[in-house]
A and B are shown apart, each in its own frame.
Chain A
Amino acid sequence: MRALDIKLFRDLRRLWAQAMAIALVVAGGAAALVAVVGSIRSLEETRAAYYERNQFADVFAQVKRAPKKLIDQIAEIPGVAAVEARVTKFALLDIPDSREPVTAQFISLPDDSEQRLNRIYLRSGRVPEPGRAEEVVVYEAFADAHEMPLGSRFSAILNGHKRELVIVGTALSPEFIYTIAPGETITDNRRFGIIWMSEKVLANAYNLDGAFSSVTLKLLRNASESEVIKRLDVLLDPYGGQAAYGRKDLPSHAWGEHGLDMLRNMSRTMPTIFLLVAAFLINQWLNRMVALEREQIGLLKALGYRNIAIAAHYFKFVIALVAVGTIIGGVAGIWLGAFITRMYGGLIHFPFLVFTKSSDVYVWGGLLSLLAGIAGAVHALRAVAALPPAVAMQPPAPPRFRRVLPARFALIKLVSQPTMIMLRNLSHHPLRAVFTMLGMALAPAIIIVSLFLRDTVEDLINVTYFIADRHDATVSFVEKRAQNVVEQIAHLPGVLAVEPYREVPVRVRHGSVERRVMISGRPRDADLRRIIDVNLGSVALPENGLAISAWLAQLLDVHLGDFVEVDLLEGQRRTVSLPVSALVEDFFGIQGMMDLESLNRLMREAPTVTSISFTLDANKADLLYDAVKSMPAVSGMGIQRFSLANYRNLLAPLQTNMAMIYTGFAVIIAFGMVYSSARIALSERARELASLRVLGFGRGEVLFILLIELGLLTVLAQPLGWGFGYLLSWLLKVQVSGEVMRARLIVEQSSYALASGIVLVAALFSALVVRERINQLDLVAVLKTRD
């Protein structure tokens, strides 16, 4: 081994603690990159493989009743590779372990052939045998939630008739990697399930023999989705077709994508933060080392070593740090990646998980870390090259300090000398102080982002469940009903106040932008499900025109008073032009709202209703549930209490896990920053501190003088960190806000406090570690050597 490399090796061994602190920050960046990019890839690969193997369709459409002969025409649309027509219906279930009614989507399975598209993935049992009317396959998570093994029986109300069903298989489907009941905001495997049964049986139950109510298409590779959708709509139109849509409008796919967007955001911000901090720490460390080894550098030059060789020697320190950091980060990243992938796998149901072992992520992790290392090292390496040997062998000129205030300024008299030392040091290295502060600020910022997720979900819950929607339950009907159904519901046991709604599927268009949405007709003075504006104030619906969310307005590029074109996809199926007369706030999906009476006029119909929300006397809930279960017209029932509890149950562990991961990252940064900075300060000022000890300052006082500066920077960094945290939260909010859901930017004050608290504790802990070093300070040795 060459002599310089022996020096490198021994120096690293001597400085291992500080080198490790920096390597850990590098590792944090590499781990974040490997873990998050790895799990994004794993999830994307898994999804792609699953979609591919199980022939997930590209285009979906619902229709009232279309004859099967239409299938051939659909198959002839240019770009269509495969067509599958089927019967799908929503219906209520009566499950033994569940007092309240449960909603399910029934989907037909072809009796005499394999499924062509959206093939189910059987997890247990088998598919129903032809002619066995009672046999069904149920969604695995639904069966698990109800603890229903194969052979379990339950009943369903199909088109008004109660039927006994028996589970012969459990399955997953690419069409339902995430299940969500209509009108709900999050998956609930207890209250909503998917059930597959024989096509003959299901068609027969709904009088759809020889017909279908849903069609899905697989497209050729180069087909234009929008063109196919346009032609499909034309074909289905006469049969009560509701605008067809692509994968991105399918709730399952859209929610899955939403989850991936969260990870994509994390993959961009987290490694960047770590690499910036790593670059700064390497910069500090190497500068200090070069300053300390000034004479050795001079000696090497005098001996005839070339600048490049000496610079290379110091650069090897950086390479060693980056290598160790990348290896640790890579290993931690694999573990963390699997953890994140599984966490998502808990919400998004795949039959298998493909853990991609993509080696390029590690290479990227290493390269980016090395880049950060180079950025951090450039200054010190240039200093090494520029140092003339004769000067290097001399002691460095003493640092020149200057006054911040005039010499006899009265205030100065009030400041103790230790404080003065701190103030002058800060003003002597202003850039270093600023960067230390910036680095420290990133730690609370990261925690704030994770707490933002919690705060914003709480806000979502508060606004959705308590400010806007104040009803207890909603029943929706198989088909639109005459107004008198409101009276019927009002007379059910326990029902207190009722509010009717009418939903109409439409295509809304402005310029070249078109979206398929529901228009929800509501009573103008709606009180159970209030419409709120962006300031959370209650909004009365305008008599005419459409109220849309600010999000949809942005999507369509319309402002208040602009007109939009609306294709009504029911009844007379007219196209009308409506003014945008109010902008409202909603968090889930995209929809329009109208005054119920105006909507009925627009539809040229007698008043009709598709769902009813109501408040409930909790003591009579069970009676109500029984009554609803026996109502043939009801296709689904949502209960706010369960919905809210489920929301919390599902998101709580997710939030906790994310907060833990983010906090772990933040602690690494805080510890690395404080420990490394303190060690450098100690090394630079050992002589000064030893002098103070000789002059009679106690250990505590000396520690105070060393750390007060870092402490001050850490404290000053907190408000800055809150600002960064808010900014990063904003970034996350913007990047993950989409058509499936949006959130307000809410960070509670307690979150700022908690984030800073965690960081300050981590900083304090690293200060304690440094204290040990001060206790070991050899007073005599330090003072007897030349600086």
Chain B
Amino acid sequence: MANEVFTAQSLTKTYTSGEVKVHALRGVDFDISAGEVIVLLGPSGSGKSTLLNIVGGLDHASSGRLFFRQLELTGLDDRDLTRYRRRHVGFVFQFYNLIPSLTAYENVALVTEIADAPMRPEEALALVGLQARMDHFPAQLSGGEQQRVAIARAIAKRPEVLLCDEPTGALDSRTGILVIEALLAINVQLGTTTLIITHNASIRDIADRVLFFADGQISRVQKNETRRAAATLTW
């Protein structure tokens, strides 16, 4: 299918933690289409973060193949993976990982300065509703605001893919909903393919598809006919 952004074939990942060999992924296959919102659900250690890291070019698979469009990620070295992240991928983490010495505006500019065709930082901040706070340092922002800056930073380069690892994990529900709203708005406006890892089962209804993880494998796929609006979520 021409519209596929990611294609994975029998991806595995094994690493050693201390003296223990951990099989984090035991053969994962999937296709993800452009513009899809995917939620990855599963208990801790089920392999979803490992998958997200490999998809995002932060980690190498042990075996199997992974394609980003025609580009085979599993064959890239560190330098090419860096280029891949720089051009195509936006990340949002549970702990916002903003640079404390830069303002909201400057944190976004950090990315727009090295991207090919970015939006202006103020534009990105407007998308997450933070244009009024852009001259504040991270220490002057609430957790939700910091996470929205992180999202603005992730999408400012107009990435094709947005990878979010527990984006609401450190937030209360009201703020968490604001963050999800921002992610969905961007998906709609920019058509960004979005992968969201969460422990929060109530978030799954906002996705086009939900991949359930267990023991390093995708145990089940749930397809939602309609995506629920973020504002109607509760947890």
Using a CB–CB cutoff of 8 Å, the interface residues on chain A facing chain B are 397-403, 407, 416-418, 420-421, 424-425, 428, 687-688, 690-699, 779-780, 783-787
Contact = CB atoms under 8 A, between A and B. Distances in A.
B82 A421 contact: no
Contact of A695 (B111, B139, B165): B111
B95 A696 contact: no
B109 interface: yes
A695 B58 contact: no
A702 B158 CA distance: 22
- B interface, how many residues as a size bin? 35 or more
A756 B138 CA distance: 39
Interface stretch (B98-106, B205-213, B215-223): B98-106
Given A424-B101, A697-B114, A780 B95 contact: no
B53 A398 contact: no
B93 interface: yes
B101 A401 contact: yes
Contact of B95 (A428, A692, A783): A783
Given A400-B139, A417-B106, A695 B153 contact: yes
**10 closest cross-chain pairs (CB), A and B:** A696-B86, A424-B101, A417-B110, A691-B97, A398-B139, A696-B85, A401-B101, A400-B139, A407-B135, A698-B82
B100 A401 contact: yes
Nearest to A702: B82
Contacts of B115: 696
A699 B85 CA distance: 13
11 contacts: A402-B137, A407-B103, A417-B99, A417-B110, A420-B102, A421-B99, A694-B91, A695-B91, A696-B86, A783-B97, A784-B165
Contacts of B78: 699
B23 to A, nearest CB: 17
Contacts of A401: 100-102, 137, 139
A420 to B, nearest CB: 6
B85 A784 contact: no
Given A424-B102, A694-B85, 17 more contacts: A397-B139, A399-B100, A403-B103, A420-B101, A421-B99, A421-B101, A692-B99, A693-B82, A694-B97, A695-B85, A696-B86, A697-B82, A698-B79, A780-B49, A780-B59, A783-B95, A784-B165
Contacts of B49: 780, 784
B119 to A, nearest CB: 15
Contacts of A690: 97
B106 A398 contact: no
B87 interface: yes
A425 B100 CA distance: 10
Interface in B125-148: 135, 137-140
Most chain A Cβ neighbours within 10 Å, of B53, B95, B97, B113: B97
B139 A417 contact: no
A402 B140 CA distance: 10
B94 interface: yes
A784 B109 contact: no
Given A397-B139, A401-B137, A416 B113 contact: yes
Secondary structure at chain A's binding surface: helix, strand, loop or mixed?
Answer: helix
Contacts of A428: 101
A786 B101 CA distance: 18
Nearest to B98: A691
Nearest to A691: B97
A619 to B, nearest CB: 71
B109 A417 contact: yes
A696 to B, nearest CB: 3
Given A695-B111, A780-B59, A787 B95 contact: yes
Interface of B: 49, 53, 56, 58-59, 78-79, 82-83, 85-87, 89, 91, 93-95, 97-103, 106-107, 109-111, 113-115, 135, 137-140, 153, 165
Contacts of A695: 85-86, 91, 110-111, 114, 153
A692 B59 contact: no
A563 B56 CA distance: 91
Contacts of B165: 784
Nearest to A398: B139
Nearest to B115: A696
A324 B93 CA distance: 43
Most chain A Cβ neighbours within 10 Å, of B101, B102, B114, B115: B101
B97 A399 contact: no
A428 B113 CA distance: 24
Contacts of A417: 99, 102, 106-107, 109-110, 113
A773 to B, nearest CB: 16
Given A398-B138, A693-B82, A688 B114 contact: no
B102 A421 contact: yes
B164 to A, nearest CB: 13
B101 A425 contact: yes
A688 B99 contact: yes
Contact of B93 (A420, A424, A784): A784
Contacts of A779: 58
A699 B77 CA distance: 13
A416 B109 CA distance: 9
Contacts of B56: 694
Given A417-B109, A420-B106, A691 B139 contact: no
Contacts of B83: 696
A707 to B, nearest CB: 16
A736 to B, nearest CB: 48
A696 B87 contact: yes
A399 B139 contact: yes
B101 A696 contact: no
Contacts of B86: 695-697
A451 B76 CA distance: 52
A783 B93 CA distance: 7
A418 B56 CA distance: 23
Contacts of B139: 397-401
Contacts of B153: 695
Most chain A Cβ neighbours within 10 Å, of B53, B82, B85, B153: B82
Nearest to B109: A417
Nearest to B90: A695
A557 B203 CA distance: 93
A784 B92 CA distance: 11
Contacts of A397: 139
B101 A398 contact: no
A686 to B, nearest CB: 11
A397 B99 CA distance: 14
Contacts of B106: 417, 420
A783 B150 CA distance: 13
Contacts of B140: 400
A428 B137 CA distance: 13
Contacts of A424: 101-102
B113 A400 contact: no
